[in-house]
């Protein structure tokens, strides 16, 4: 499909393959569930799944059951773990998708058991995050009830943890997770997988690799500078850019965009057709963009579909690339920089931007994954 609006987000699939290879190397023999929820963290769920699986992941984990059909239609037949995201009355439809569903409470357990289908299921336990999962104190009862559901096979037990930077908090949650898994064993289950390690934990705490891992944001280059292996993680979002559709000179004595007082000296503006409908913020601070190899400040409030840039003293012209994230010439604006200016988390920003701007992909090569895994 061709797009007439000159605005794109460029995804570096070689970088994703490299990062997956890094996680594959660090995780060793643990089953590798590549997390592709949130439309593959904004880069596109099919592209994310294909790249991760080709680069060394064993399976994928996702949160939206409606994405499963897109993956199957794309010819992706890898094992899929579906995180808790559906209502009990939809259990039969979920069971028909060919995924491993999550059982996170008694209602979901009863609903999947009532389908009569033979299903491999994962049980989620809450070890301190306080979100989804069977709470401490209910684990023995939950696994006993699962043992009575003859059509359901326990494929694994997993949890998500908080404060992954805090060794004490992580050790406490890891200890509780072991208690939960012991409850499963006590109910007669054996051979099930255990999964706790997400992005940062995989890289820093090998004792929590257990049988399976499920990294997410780290694979997409959203790790923090203080993470282990931070210097090896590559940004997957290569560029977010538009093109200038107007350059206008504002003479002295006229009013510049966003101001109410007449100008003392002339200024020049450029308009780029990307706005807050593309996921950027409306109110200042709005940061900078790169035009003609120069950093230029964004002016005043961003429109719903337009951003006005001050290009005074810059040799700007209609059609010039305007880089919001990425490099042009000797200048670079990083995703982390933009996210900090806007006051949002990098994965949130890209998930917002990628919903509107057409994606362009730099193709992944098998060499990138092999190099990272060596």
Residue 371 has pLDDT above 80, yes or no: no
Q: Which residues are catalytic, by number?
A: 37, 257
306/217 Cα distance (integer angstroms): 29
Tell me the C-alpha distance between 147 and 140, whole Å.
11
Q: Determine the pLDDT at residue 374.
A: 45
* pLDDT value, residue 265: 96
Contact criterion met (CB below 8 Å) for 201 and 208? yes
Q: pLDDT tens digits, residue range 4-47?
A: 889 999 999 999 999 999 999 999 999 999 999 999 999 999 99
- Asked if residues 122 and 103 have their Cβ atoms less than 8 Å apart, the reply is yes
Give tens-digit pLDDT for 46-100.
999 999 999 999 999 999 999 998 999 999 999 999 999 999 999 999 999 999 9
Q: Name the band, by pLDDT with cuts 50, 70 and 90, for residue 366.
A: low
Q: Where in the chain is the domain with CATH 3.20.20.10?
A: 13-219
In the predicted model, is pLDDT for residue 3 greater than 90? Answer: no
Contact 192, 155 (CB under 8 A): yes
Q: What is the pLDDT of residues 148-195, one digit of tens each?
A: 999 999 999 999 999 999 999 999 999 999 999 999 999 999 999 999
How high is the mean pLDDT of the chain?
A: 94
pLDDT in tens, 256-279: 988 889 999 999 999 999 999 988
The string of pLDDT tens digits covering residues 271-309 is 999 999 988 988 889 999 999 999 999 999 999 999 999
Cβ atoms within 10 Å of 191's Cβ, excluding its own: 9
13-219 CATH pick, 3.40.50.2300, 3.20.20.10, 3.10.20.600, 2.40.160.50: 3.20.20.10
pLDDT band at 368, cuts 50/70/90? low
Q: Where in the chain is the domain with CATH 2.40.37.10?
A: 237-362
In terms of CATH architecture, what is 237-362?
Beta Barrel (2.40)
Distance CA 216, CA 266 (A): 49
């Amino acid at each position: 499909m061709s797009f007439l609006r000159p605005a794109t987000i460029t995804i570096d699939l070689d970088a994703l393959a490299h990062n997956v290879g890094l996680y594959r190397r660090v995780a060793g023999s643990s089953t590798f569930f590549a997390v592709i929820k949130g439309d593959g963290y904004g880069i596109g769920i099919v592209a994310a799944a294909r790249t991760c699986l080709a680069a060394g992941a064993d399976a994928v984990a996702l949160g939206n059951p409606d994405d499963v059909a897109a993956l199957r239609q794309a010819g992706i037949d890898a094992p899929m773990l579906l995180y808790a995201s559906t209502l009990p009355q939809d259990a039969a439809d979920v069971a028909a998708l060919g995924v491993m569903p999550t059982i996170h409470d008694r209602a979901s357990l009863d609903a999947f058991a009532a389908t009569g289908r033979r299903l491999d299921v994962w049980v989620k336990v809450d070890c301190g995050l306080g979100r989804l999962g069977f709470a401490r104190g209910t684990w023995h009862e939950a696994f006993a009830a699962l043992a009575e559901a003859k059509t359901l096979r326990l494929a694994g037990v997993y949890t998500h943890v908080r404060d992954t930077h805090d060794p004490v908090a992580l050790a406490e949650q890891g200890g509780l997770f072991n208690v939960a898994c012991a409850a499963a064993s006590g109910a007669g289950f054996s051979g099930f997988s255990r999964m706790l390690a997400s992005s940062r934990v995989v890289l820093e705490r090998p004792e929590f690799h257990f049988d399976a891992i499920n990294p997410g944001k780290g694979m997409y280059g959203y790790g923090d500078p203080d993470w282990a292996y931070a210097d090896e993680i590559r940004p997957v979002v290569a560029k977010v850019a538009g093109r200038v559709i107007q350059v206008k000179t504002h003479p002295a004595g006229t009013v510049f965009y966003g101001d109410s007082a007449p100008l003392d000296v002339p200024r020049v503006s450029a308009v780029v057709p990307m706005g807050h409908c593309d996921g950027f913020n409306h109110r200042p601070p709005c940061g900078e963009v790169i035009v003609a190899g120069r950093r230029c400040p964004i002016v005043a409030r961003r429109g719903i579909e337009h951003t006005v840039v001050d290009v005074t003293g810059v040799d700007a012209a209609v059609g010039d690339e305007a880089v919001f994230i990425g490099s042009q010439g000797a200048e670079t604006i990083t995703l982390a920089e933009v996210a900090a200016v806007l006051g949002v988390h990098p994965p949130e920003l890209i998930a917002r931007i990628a919903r509107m701007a057409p994606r362009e992909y730099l193709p992944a090569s098998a060499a990138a994954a092999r190099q990272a895994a060596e």
